Amino acid sequence: MSGAISLSERKLFGTNGVRGIVNEEMTTELALKLSMAIGTYFKGAEMAVGCDGRLSSPIFLDTVCAGLASVGCRVWNLGMITTPALQFLTKDWGLKGSVMITASHNPPEYNGLKVMGNSGVELPHEEEFEIERIYFASNWKLADWKNVKTPLPVAEKFPSYIQSVIDNLDGAPTQTNLKVLVDAANGVSVLATPPLLERLGCKLKVVNGNIDGNFPGRLPEPTPENLRKTSKLVSAAKADFGIAHDGDGDRAVFLDEHGQVCWGDQTFALITQDFLERYPGEKIVTPISSSHMIQEIAEKYGSEVVYTPVGSVYVSNLMLKIHAKLGGEENGGIFYAPHVAARDGTMTSGMICKIVAEERKTLSKLITRLPKYYIIKDKLFCPHSIKEAATEALRSLPTKGEVLDIDGIKVWVTPKAWILIRPSGTEPLFRILAEAPTKGMAQKIANKYKIRLSRIIKSCLRNA
C-alpha cells in the first residue's frame, strides 16, 4: 500500500479535490480550465456533473459543464445533488467519471471541485497529478466544432439511488416507527435522507431543511460545537435519535435520544458489528486514526482491519483494490462498497436506523455496550522545513510495539493502546493522538510522546 502523498507535492488538488475561497483561489477561470483538463484526461468521455447548495455552485456548475463539453465530453448535468448520489450514479450509469462542485463541510465562502472515476470514488492522488500536469501545461484538446455536445439536464436522480440504499440494507425494515430528527445543515442532504427514512417508516422532523448557501442554521461541519442547538432539538422532540449531515451529505453524525453527540467511531463500531454478524471474516478498511474499538470488534469475528493513511480517498481506493465491502472514518464517514465505495451519509442513516429498529434498544444503550476507549488529541508546533527530518527521527525511536508508518508514525504501546504522531498537511505542526482503555493511560502516553517529539524537533532545529 502506498503512503500519504505530501500536500506540498500537489499544487491544486488537496486532501479532497480542489478547494478555496470563491473569487480568491476558487474562480470560474480556474474551474473552466481545470474542467477542460479533466475532460481531456477522460478523453472526451461521457461524464456527469453535480453541485451542492452553495451560493456560488450554480455558476461553477455551468462553467464545469461548458469546460467538459468544449473538449468533447457528453455531459449529464445533474444540478443539485448530494456527493454520494452523484458517485452512485457515476458507477450505476457506467460513466467514465464525474465532477462534484462542493466544499463539503467548509464555511460558506468556500467552494471546490472533486473528480470521480468510473467506480464513483474520488481519483487516487496519482491520477489527480495527471490532471494537474495537463492544466499547468494548458494541454487540453478542444473538440472540433461538430463534436461539441449540449450538456443535458437530468431531472430524476434520486429514485434509483435511494433504491440502491434500500437494497443494500439487507432486508430494510419498512415500518420502524422511529422518530428521527434530521439536521440537513441547509445543505443538499435534505434531498436524499428524508425520502429514504420515509421509506423505512420513520416519523421525521427535519431542521435546517431549506437549501441555503448562507448556512443560516449552523456551520456545515457536524462538530459537537456546531450541533449544540441540534442537541437540544433532539431531546425536545423526544426523538429516538438525531442525524446531522455536512454540506454535501457524505457524512452523518448521530445524536442519541438525550441529544448527546455520538463519536463517529462509535457509530462505525455499531455498523461494523452489525455487518460482521452477517459477514464474519470480511476485511474492514479504516484510516490509522480510527479507534482500536474497530479492531477489537473485528478480531471477535475473525476479521482483519486494514489501515490506510488519513483521508477518504485512501479508504475508497483501498476498498476497491482489496474488494472490501465496509470502510469507515472517525469523522462519521461510512463506505459500503456494494452500494458505492464512497462515504455516504444517507446510506449511514439507513444502516443506523435499521440497527436501532432491529435491536429494539436506544442508541445510547447500544453505544454503552461497545468496548470502552478514550482518545486524547494534542498538537505541537513544528516548522514545515523540518517536518520530514522530524518524522524520520520518530521512525528510529526504540519501541517494543507494532509500528505503522503509512502516514506519520503509529505505535501500539500495548495491544490495546496506541499513539499516532502525524505532520499536518497544511499547518506548521504535528498532530498527536493517543488512545487507551482508560483516560489516564491515554493521557500518560500522549504526554510521554509529546516530550519525545519536542526533543526531536529541538534537535532537528539545531541541525537545520
Task: At 338, give phi and psi (nearest 5°).
Answer: -60, -25
The C-alpha cell at 370 is: 461497545
Nearer to Mg ion, 151 or 333 (CB): 333
Which of these segments, 122-130, 136-144, 191-199, 240-248, binds Mg ion (CB under 5 A)? 240-248
Q: Please tell me the distance from the alpha carbon of residue 320 to that of residue 316, in angstroms, as a whole number.
A: 6
Residue least distant from Mg ion (Cβ) = 104
Is 250 an interacting residue with respect to Mg ion (CB under 5 A)? Answer: yes
In the set 52, 128, 132, 246, which binds Mg ion (CB under 5 A)? 246
Is 329 an interacting residue with respect to Mg ion (CB under 5 A)? Answer: no
Count of alpha carbons within 13 Å of 1, Cβ hemisphere only?
21
Q: Please tell me the distance from the alpha carbon of residue 132 to that of residue 70, in angstroms, as a whole number.
A: 18
Nearer to Mg ion, 250 or 256 (CB): 250
Nearest approach in angstroms of CB 187 to Mg ion is: 9
Is 435 an interacting residue with respect to Mg ion (CB under 5 A)? Answer: no
- Which residue carries 464545469 as its cell? 64
Nearer to Mg ion, 273 or 316 (CB): 316
Nearest approach in angstroms of CB 379 to Mg ion is: 23
Nearest approach in angstroms of CB 218 to Mg ion is: 15
Q: Please tell me the distance from the alpha carbon of residue 326 to that of residue 286, in angstroms, as a whole number.
A: 9
Nearest approach in angstroms of CB 184 to Mg ion is: 13
Residues 6+ apart with CB under 8 A from 166: 172, 196, 199, 200, 350
Active site residue 385: no
Pair 213, 155: CB distance under 8 Å: no
- Which residue carries 451519509 as its cell? 345
Nearer to Mg ion, 250 or 257 (CB): 250
Nearest approach in angstroms of CB 100 to Mg ion is: 10
Nearer to Mg ion, 184 or 386 (CB): 184
Nearest approach in angstroms of CB 14 to Mg ion is: 14
Binding mask 289-308 for Mg ion (x = CB under 5 A): --------------------
The C-alpha cell at 20 is: 478555496
Pair 80, 191: CB distance under 8 Å: yes
- Candidates 104, 289, 291, 316; catalytic one: 104
In the set 240, 248, 330, 435, which binds Mg ion (CB under 5 A)? 248
Which of these segments, 21-29, 132-140, 247-255, 296-304, binds Mg ion (CB under 5 A)? 247-255
**Residues binding Mg ion: number (CB under 5 A):** 4
Determine which helix (DSSP H) or strand (DSSP E) holds 356, and give its type and residue range.
helix 345-359
Nearer to Mg ion, 128 or 248 (CB): 248
Site for Mg ion in 90-129 (CB under 5 A): 104
Nearest-10 Cα torsion for 191, 194, 195, 199: 160
Q: Please tell me the distance from the alpha carbon of residue 181 to that of residue 295, in angstroms, as a whole number.
A: 31
Nearer to Mg ion, 189 or 391 (CB): 189
Pair 107, 86: CB distance under 8 Å: no
Pair 366, 270: CB distance under 8 Å: yes
**Inter-helix orientation angle 159-167/83-92, to 10°:** 90
Nearest approach in angstroms of CB 321 to Mg ion is: 23
Where along the sequence are the contacts to Mg ion (CB under 5 A)? 104, 246, 248, 250
- Catalytic site positions: 104
